[in-house]
Structure 1
């Protein structure tokens, strides 16, 4: 979040009152990202960008979203209220790229509304490179602007390893990865002739996931842009196992009902909200939770990830 003034911008987060908290000395934020803060500040000042004030609902620059890859490259997404600063940002790209690591991606997003979201629908990628490449657990992955990726890469890698272990132990012939994002769980669970299908509403995420599957030569792994509940209800045949990684609201009652009535034998549910997880586990009364792990996705906060293994209750 960018706040403060053009001459003295705050780069960090907002407190409960909507005022900026600078993260330049934050021990949780990766040093490689904090090293970019002076670069961001420099361009805010040189291009005379006006930070957005949440309490006043005025200003132009709302966010600068930084994503660090394990390769050292970064994705920088400037989120603007209007296109007032767009031309200046576009024209300054050569100078900006000189100060970024190699293979970085830069884009501009437009969020005209005043609401508690990080990005708007329109995004313009300024660099020739359109995806940020990752390598988690030896699995190449891609992130496009507006694609979802876990906040903490190290914990994301641990989540994927855990899901892969549980899926491989069950050894299903077919797996669905619902709410798959850029395909992390699906790509990790693809083994041998196993058929893996990823479902995600974001077309950007699906494009990145299909690219990774192609690079891996995973011919039996495919990704489709579609609502998870609609996909399940329209399917002619259920898989042997399903991985669920929904947003904070959890899964729909319709999807839980479908899963209970289906022939699915194994579930892996990864959740960032224990309240919706508890509700969904009650709804999934055709299954029994066998194992669970808690992972500290957001250090020094009360947010964490829980991954649960469930099995069909024998009738």
Structure 2
């Protein structure tokens, strides 16, 4: 683990303060995050806290969401300053090197389009964002967020130049966001090249489409899925539901493999039934493709997680449930369903320990066995924490 504090010229010059704690040694950052989780989650026994997983201090972020600023022919790629002007951050050290390497090339190409960056104060302009995602292989997904058909047509017209400029690009798309709203993307996505980016995670590769969610730190994501797999192997459940499954990370990591030599575990593990539930039909399609490619026996359905659980009269209850909800948590309805169910074990992965604490208070029928903090977002106050729950003895 690196213990030095990276020097950031942007932070020291006051141009960017996104990495709030970058001047704090990484070891101290990790200690603060674990202490915060221990305070918020007192139901975790002291001996149940596993060692925190560090996320590095630089070169760790696999996705850059770059605001386009500046002027036509002289764009900036980074963030917006307090005055609404663009702040160029093309040398930001938290981005993976493959992302840093491509940003200057993208800036030159956008300059050549002549398209004007969108001005938030003036509510005028065309170019809003560039999203860049890097896979472990070095391949990239490029997404350009524009306001109108004009932006789409100009970028489309330069597709050959773009492919020559960024040969690492496996996926190129244009997203249209015409409204004057504080969103990172709109609903309409036009694919110009490819369809999905392959994220290799051990013996499973996840397929990310342009609007798919994936953890921002690939190395920590591997550790997160690995910990869940070890917990699953401990209980060896015959069936699993992965609620809020996204592109299927937890489900695919914990599902049986078709080959007996793939290390899937015990005989009962080889017969394990795995079902992933996700609201996004596109994410479900990606999960199904990943399962087919890896020879993994898992089923996925497109549905709201809470509605699915509450209406699952025709589904046999699983022996273990994995939940990985957004920041708001699983909420009162799903918590009440889980608490009143006969599901023996739950793995809860959370990016918000406050909502996790509320949800755990609503699950008195379970006891927390173990917990682990994952530093998915170094230099910030954000983190991922995962807990293992077992059904408490009924009185």
Question: Do the structures match in fold with TM over 0.5?
Answer: yes
- Determine the C-alpha separation between the residues in 2 that align with 1:277 and 1:15: 33
- Give the 3 Å change call, closer, same or farther, for CA 17–275 of structure 1 in structure 2: farther
Q: Alpha carbons of 1:13 and 1:312: their partners in 2 closer, same or farther (altered >3 Å)?
A: farther
**Is 1:94 aligned to residue 145 of structure 2?**
no
What secondary structure sits across from 1:104 in the alignment? strand
Corresponding residue for residue 22 of structure 1: 88
Deviations 1:166-221 (A, max 9, x none): 111111111111111110000000021111111111111111100000112223x0
Instruction: Give the Cα–Cα distance (whole angstroms) in 1 for the partners of residues 250 and 174 of structure 2.
Output: 29
**How many angstroms does 1:162 deviate by?**
0.8
Please report how far the alpha carbon of residue 283 of structure 1 lies from its aligned counterpart in structure 2 after TM superposition.
Answer: 1.2
For the residue of structure 2 that corresponds to 1:126, the secondary structure is strand
Partner of 1:224: 301
> TM-score, length-normalised on structure 2?
0.76
Matches within 5 A, 1:1-315: 1-15=67-81, 18-102=84-168, 104-127=170-193, 129-191=194-256, 192-219=270-297, 221-236=298-313, 237-315=316-394
1:19 and 1:294, CA in 2 relative to 1: closer, same or farther beyond 3 A?
A: farther
What is the TM-score of this pair, normalised by structure 1? Answer: 0.95
Name the CA shift for 1:248/1:56 in 2 (closer, same or farther; >3 Å).
farther
Change (3 A) 1:14 1:178: farther
Deviations 1:60-104 (A, max 9, x none): 111111100011100001111222211111121111111224461
Structure 2 runs not aligned, ≥5 long:
1-66, 257-269
Larger displacement relative to structure 2 (117-126 or 13-22): 13-22
Compare relative contact order (CA 8 Å, sep 6+) and give the higher one, 1 or 2: 2
Aligned residue-pair number:
313
Q: Is the 1:78–1:108 contact (alpha carbons within 8 Å) kept by the matching residues of 2?
A: yes
RMSD: 1.5
Cα shift at 1:268: 0.9
For structure 1, list consecutive stretches of 5 or more residues without a partner in the other structure: none
**Counterpart contact for 1:105–1:130, Cα < 8 Å:** yes
